[in-house]
Every structure is written in structure tokens, then in C-alpha cells.
Amino acid sequence: MAKNSDLLASLSDVSTESEFFSPLPKGYEKGKTKYCFVVGTVMSGLGKGIFSSCLAKLMQDKGLKVAPIKLEGYLNVDSGTLNPFRHGEVFVLDDGMECDMDLGTYERMLDQDLSKANFTTSGQIFSSVLNKERQGEYLGRDVQMIPHVTGEVKLRLRELAMQSDADIVFVEIGGTVGDLENAYYIEAMRELAYEEGPGSSCFVALTYILKPKTLGEQKSKAAQLGIKQLMQLGIQPEIIACRASSEVTEKVRQKISVYSNVPMDRVISLPDSASIYTIPAMIAEAGLDFKVARLLKIEDRLNLRHERKASAKWCDFTDKISAARREITIGITGKYTSVRDSYASIINALEHAGIALGADAEIKWIDTTGITNSNASQKLANVDGIIVPGGFGTRGAEGKIACIKYAREQNLPYLGLCFGFQMAVIEFARNVCGLTNANSTEIEPNCSEAVIDILPEQKKIEGLGGNMRLGGRDVELKDKTIAWELFNKAKSVRMRFRHRYEVDPRYIEQLEQGGLVFSGKAPDQPIMQILELPNHPFFMGTQAHPCLTSRPLRPHPMFVGLVAAAMQRHWPNENLPDRIKAAQKVCTQGR
């Protein structure tokens, strides 16, 4: 009887005679790359992305090349048009892909820049299948969910495997088992595991152990039913990670083991943690990383010397998390403050900078909708610095401008991101340069002094979500400025952008004459990208989103500068890190 490898040898050839259909990228070698599938049961929001990224980090620390991918069930082609209230922040990759916030978790945990190849939606899958059907690539076959749509999913994973040359591709399926939109993803994973052969893949089911207050004990029935649902789809999980508010009892783990056919040593407890950065240690303590290596038969690829060095660096970082740190308060003045996931990258960037400087940056959430010049001092009382984050639309804009005016006049450390950069320009134009009608055409389309406007090159591009400057771009730094010093006197720095509106070049000279310094701009174009006030403890804005490229071991210099200035404001009589030197130290660590 022919082996699977023989049957699948020519799967890249479309045939109307064979029921096998699984297009392979040219040159693909089965078995070279292994696959780890992470699926969720019981409910969404369990932290599949956090778990998957932490497990991937442990394997990366062992010298393996890893490549994560998030499979989303929604029909949007990307996350660009999603409301932050519904889906959290939109994370932008260097190549401009607007994606799920879990990609930010992967980038931070793995210290790795990802691309559009690491993010797939049902919208992308169906669009690709329909385009191929119109072009006749299926040679007259009736195009179906199985095998054509599932075949497209498998093709994406195998293309990522080849492009990244990964030892392991970590596949996270959004939502939960049982979601209608995820059924074909799970079927594709089952098919892929079958086609790749034994030892090629590993299924991890993330579940949740309930503990109703009225009962006072952990209950596993919901978890059992969720895992049973997965098994009914033809998936036998090799590992079950049990999320819970507290340590999962051995009795509950035994029940899960019995009903899922998973050995007890591979049913692990993952209780809530104060920091996601301590979760790799929890997973390693359960020995899950080595269990995965054995299941995938790649123990011979491990580099334990590399692991010791990487682990030592990470432990130094996590030790600082639990160490005593100086408390400061940073106000985040926005309009999505009721949903913390809307500002996930900012929260992480503040944490990175705080840990590096020995500070605990507590966040005060400030809704700007009702803030005015008359009550700004009251609303911003007891904060040591503020951030005005990105956003779209008119709501809360005047409140942000009032916050910026207060920060500028009262020497309160300030960092403006994207929309916060634009609002800082408007505030300065109005209150320093005498342009009393200054505004943005996004807020006031017929504004007579539009210091912020869509540039002509952007107006030519039609379609919501298609007329933005997206992704990584080089920023040319001006010598002898604070930005230049923060980035260790570099000539340029790469940052990520997501915006439509810019400073109108006609007003640049007038703004600079008033004292505003544009310390970063687009190379060879009059597009301003960083601003600062030289005679202020820390007043900086950027059209970019620096939080997107902050990493645990390499915090972003702008956030380091803000946190250091906030510490100096809160503790004026103590010897604290100089913001410039602290940021330069970050740069020399490998940024």
C-alpha cells in the first residue's frame, strides 16, 4: 500500500480525477517544518496569543527558528476598519498590514518584526479562492469549502514555513472551537497534520476552568465539553492548557485527562499572572517546551547553550518586574479609555520603559470628551506626565487640545502619538503663533487655517482604509535636537505609521518661528514626523506610533524619555536617570 508521502507527492497538480487537493509551494519539503496548533475552548479572551507567543519564545530560546501566524474568522480583509471598542487596537506591521493586536504580542515576546504572511483572515482566504476560480486555476472543478478553501489555508501555512525557513510554525486560530466561521480552519489543520505525517504537528487546546462564587470550587464540565467538541471534529489534542483564576487542582486535571485521552503530565495549570512576561517561566516549569520538542521529534535541533544565555537575559528582565520600583502616574487622554485593549501597545511600551528605569508607571485613564481649558488642571491633577494617543474623528479632539495646552504651559511631560502630534501642532498654532482658527480638516473640513490637512498625494487614493500612510518608514533626524539625542545621535530611525493627515507645509516656517522644532521629517519630502519644544522638561510628539516597536528588552527611547521626565517631576530632589542618557542606553542595546 502506498504511503501518504507517495499519494501526496504530486498534490500541487490540480486534477479532476483525484480527491486529493492540497497545493504545495514549489520546493516545499514535508517534515522539515513542524506545526504547533493552538485552539481555544469554552470562551474567547483566554489569552491564546499570549500562550502561543510564550511557548514560541521558549522554543526560540532553544535556538529554533519560529514563525507565528494568526488565523481570524472574520470576513474583513484586514483589521484596519475595526472599531477599537469591538476588537481592541489595530496593530500595524512594518509592511503596512493592519492586523489583530495578538500580532503585537508575538512581536514583543519574540522581538521579531512580522509581515502580512503572519496574519490571515477569512476575507483573505475567500478572496484568493474566488480570484483563482475566475482565472480558471481549478480546471473546471466545482469549488468547495473542502478541498479548495481548506487547501488555500494549508497553502498559506506552507508558504510561511518556506518564507521563514522556520523549524516550527505556531498557528493560532482566533475565537473558539464551535464558532461557525472557524470550522474550516480546524478542518484544514486536521488535513495538514494528516498530510504531513506522524510527528509533524502538535495540537494544544487552551481551555478555562470555571469557579462559580456560589459553589466555591473549580468545575471542569465546560472544559470537558469544549474539548469533546474539538475531538468530534477529528482533532486529538496532545496538550491541554487549563486557564483559571487560581491554580488548577489535581482532581480537575485528572478529570480533564480522563475525558480527553491526554496524559496528566500534558494537562497543565496556567493560573492568572500579574505580568504576561512571567508566563514563559510557568510554561517551562511544567516542562511543556521539552514535551513539544519530543512530540515534534526535534530534540536533536535544540541548542541548550543558546537557551542558557537567552534565559539569563530574560530572567534579569523579569526580576526587575518584581523588584521595588518608584511609582509615577501617567495620564492617557483619549476617547477609547473604557476599553483598555484599545491602547494595548501603549500600556506595554510604558511598562517596558518603567521596568528599564526602575519605575512603576501607573496609568490614569482620562476621557477627553468633557475636558476644557477651564477644567483641564482639575482633570490632570496628580499626574506626572500625559500621553495623547492616536485616534480618528472629532469627538474628544478639543479636550485633547486643552490637555496639551495645560502640559505645555505647566511643564508637564508630554508625548503625543499620531493624532496627539497633530493636536499639538493645532494647539501651538492657536495659542503661540496667533492662528486662532487653526484646526484639522478632519475635524473642520472648511477650516480657514488648516495647519493639518490631507496632502495632495493622499487625496488621490480612494477608499476608506486605502488612503493612509501605513507601515514602517524612515524618519530623518535633525542634528542637535532632543530626538537626535534620544536616538543616540542617529541620522535616521525607522518608525511605523498609520494616518491620513499631515502638517500642511505652508505653515511649517511660521510654526518654527514661534519656537516649535520639527526634529524629524520624511527624507526628501516636507512631511513633518517628530516635533519637540527645547525649553520644556519633555514635550514631544510624533506622527508615528513608537509604541508598536517597543520591546521588553529594548523599550522605545521616546517612552523612556517620557517616563524619566515624569520621574524627575515626581521626585525632583533625588538623583534619577537622565532621560537622554537612559534613552541612549536603550539604543545601544541593539535598536
Question: DSSP assignment of 225-276, as one string?
Answer: HHHHHHHHTT---SEEEEEESSPPPHHHHHHHHHHHT--GGGEEEEE--S-G
Distances (CA, A) of 338 to 157, 343, 364, 372, 504: 36, 10, 12, 20, 33
Determine the number of helices (DSSP H) and then strands (DSSP E) in the chain: 21, 21
Distance CA 142, CA 211 (A): 49
CB 489 within 8 A of CB 519: no
Phi-psi region at 393: left, alpha or beta (left = phi > 0; alpha = psi -120 to 50): left
**Where in the sequence of the chain do the CATH 3.40.50.880 domains occur?**
325-588
pLDDT score for 464: 44
Assess contact for 302 and 64: CB atoms under 8 A: yes
Q: How far apart are CA 486 and CA 535, in angstroms?
A: 16
Give the C-alpha distances (Å, rounded to integers) separating 547 from 55, 327, 346. Answer: 23, 21, 5
> Looking at residue 11, what is its pLDDT?
44
**What is the enclosing helix (H) or strand (E) of 154?**
helix 150-164
**pLDDT at position 440:** 95
How far is it, in rounded angstroms, from Cα 424 to Cα 430? Answer: 10
Query: Residue 554, Cβ neighbours under 10 Å: how many?
Result: 17
- What SS3 state is found at 490? coil
Residue 457, phi then psi, degrees to nearest 5: -65, -30
Fold of 325-588: Rossmann fold (3.40.50)
CA 299 from centroid of its chain's CA atoms: 30
- Say if residues 102 and 341 touch (Cβ distance below 8 Å): no
Q: What is the pLDDT along the chain (591 residues), one digit of tens a residue?
A: 444 444 444 444 455 566 677 889 999 999 899 999 999 998 888 889 999 999 999 999 999 999 999 999 999 998 888 876 677 789 999 999 999 899 999 999 999 999 999 999 999 999 999 999 999 988 878 899 999 999 999 999 999 999 999 999 999 998 899 889 899 999 999 999 999 999 999 999 999 999 998 888 999 999 999 999 999 999 999 999 999 999 999 999 999 999 999 999 999 999 999 899 999 999 999 999 999 999 999 999 999 999 999 999 999 999 999 887 899 999 999 766 555 678 899 999 999 999 999 999 999 999 888 899 999 999 999 999 999 998 776 777 899 999 999 999 999 999 999 999 999 999 999 999 999 999 999 999 999 999 999 866 656 544 444 567 899 999 999 999 999 999 999 999 999 999 889 999 999 999 999 999 999 999 988 899 999 999 999 999 999 999 999 999 999 999 999 999 999 999 888 877 777 777 777 766 644
C-alpha cell at 522: 520624511
Query: Which neighbouring-strand residues pair with 531?
Result: 518, 541
Name the CA dihedral angle for 422, 427, 430, 435, rounded to a multiple of 10 degrees. Answer: -20
CATH of domain 33-316: 3.40.50.300
Q: Coil, helix or strand for 511?
A: helix
CATH 3.40.50.300 domain residues, the chain: 33-316
Q: 3-state secondary structure string, 349-397?
A: HHHHHHHHHCEEEEEEEEEHHHCCCCCHHHHCCCCCEEEECCCCCCCCH
